Amino acid sequence: MQITTIGLDIAKNVFQVHGGNRQGQAVLRRKVRRDQLLPLFRRLEPCLIGIEACATAHHWAR
């Protein structure tokens, strides 16, 4: 499973993680709790990560 791109929908406690390969096929779809996010990324090869940036995302960033 070679993931080249990840889309991350951030939230307060649960994140949606979607990973795609070079062909654009979804190879990872997972709901992840906040404490599981970094361990998940540590197991993956380096790749491009896109993060949702809505109004609530900016609120939590502050």
Phi and psi for 54 in degrees, rounded to 5? -95, 180
Contact status, residue 59 vs residue 33, Cβ threshold 8 Å:
no
Residue 13 predicted with pLDDT over 90: no
Q: How many CB atoms lie within 10 A of CB 19?
A: 22
What pLDDT, on a 0 to 100 scale, did the predictor assign at position 52? Answer: 81
What pLDDT, on a 0 to 100 scale, did the predictor assign at position 23? Answer: 94
CA distance 19 to 48: 10
Q: What is the helix (H) or strand (E) element at residue 55, kind and residue range?
A: helix 55-61
Tokens representing residue 40 in the block: 């998940």
- The pTM is what? 0.76
pLDDT digits (tens, 9 = 90+) for 29-56: 999 999 999 999 999 999 999 988 676 6
The residues facing 52 across adjacent strands are none
Residue 57 predicted with pLDDT over 80: no
Residues 4-24: what's their mean pLDDT? Answer: 91
